[in-house]
Amino acid sequence: MAWRCSAPTNAGLVDNLATANILSTPRIIAAMKATDRAHYSPRRPYDDCPQSLGFGATISAPHMHAHALESLSPMLRPGASVLDIGSGSGYLVSVFSKLVRPGGTVIGVEHLKELNEAAEKRFVEEEGSLAKEILQKNEVIFKTADGRHGCPGEKFDAIHVGASMPAVPEVLLEQLKSPGKMFVPVGDVNEDQYIYEYTRDAEGNLTRERLFGVAYVPLGDVEYYYARGRKLVE
């Protein structure tokens, strides 16, 4: 199902994800078509598999981005606030930003300074003069920080986590608005990992559902990543 979605173009890749029923929401399909992965993936952008960004980090496979966007889609409305923890290449930050305009905000939290600077540069390359305005107005923020505790004190309509953690801390769940949704890989790197979808309803009740098995890099220490290479893949 996954690698079969590879295509020679961005539009072809997105069409294949839709044909495979991984994508179905027209707004999500349009936002992915408007965000050419070639700006964010240093190698083979339209292959449906992860690609190295350097430092042991990867841009996730297109089908994972598609699953995450579809899962969070009810919350990705104009004016919404989104937190992307472990934002890596910046690809999802850009897609989220298109979906929450006008009036929305997207915070990408990435602990590797080199990756975060590259992500912001890629965003500016992709969105041109519009990006400068969006960044100046703080509608998109590329924050270099440890994301394990999210952005304490703030609340979000949607939270995406791009790296796996052994358990979701209470402090992160508290950052979900009512209603709100979180898409998060849970599990130790050397053990089984699964995607969990957390949903807080309008009354504040929190439920969670296990979706499918995955293999993500860990939401961990900077040193873990620097030990895997100090060079950005460009």
Q: Which helix (H) or strand (E) holds 63?
A: helix 62-72
Q: Which residues pair with 59 in a beta bridge?
A: 51
Rounded to an integer, what distance in angstroms lies between the CA atom of residue 53 and that of residue 68? Answer: 20
Residue among 6, 24, 60, 164 flagged as catalytic = 60
185, 195 in Cβ contact below 8 A? yes
Q: From the CB of 27, what's the least distance to ligand SAH, in Å?
A: 20
Rounded to an integer, what distance in angstroms lies between the CA atom of residue 159 and that of residue 183? Answer: 6
Query: Measured from the CB atom, is 89 or 105 closer to ligand SAH?
Result: 89
Q: From the CB of 110, what's the least distance to ligand SAH, in Å?
A: 5
Restricting to residues 93-132, which ones interact with ligand SAH according to CB under 6 A?
A: 109-112, 115
Rounded to an integer, what distance in angstroms lies between the CA atom of residue 128 and that of residue 69? Answer: 23
Q: Please pick, from the candidates 162, 180, 185, 187, the single residue that binds ligand SAH as defined by CB under 6 A.
A: 162
Restricting to residues 20-49, which ones interact with ligand SAH according to CB under 6 A?
A: none
CA distances from residue 20 to 2, 53, 103, 141, 162 in whole angstroms, order as listed: 9, 27, 32, 33, 22
Does position 185 interact with ligand SAH (CB under 6 A)? The reply is no
- Long-range contact set of residues 127-136: C-beta below 8 Å, sequence gap at least 24: 127/94, 134/97
Query: Measured from the CB atom, is 189 or 206 closer to ligand SAH?
Result: 189
Length reported for the chain: 234
Is 89 in the active site?
A: no
Restricting to residues 129-158, which ones interact with ligand SAH according to CB under 6 A?
A: 146-148
Restricting to residues 61-100, which ones interact with ligand SAH according to CB under 6 A?
A: 86-89, 91-92
Contacts with ligand SAH by CB under 6 A lie at 57-60, 86-89, 91-92, 109-112, 115, 146-148, 162-163, 217, 219-220, 225
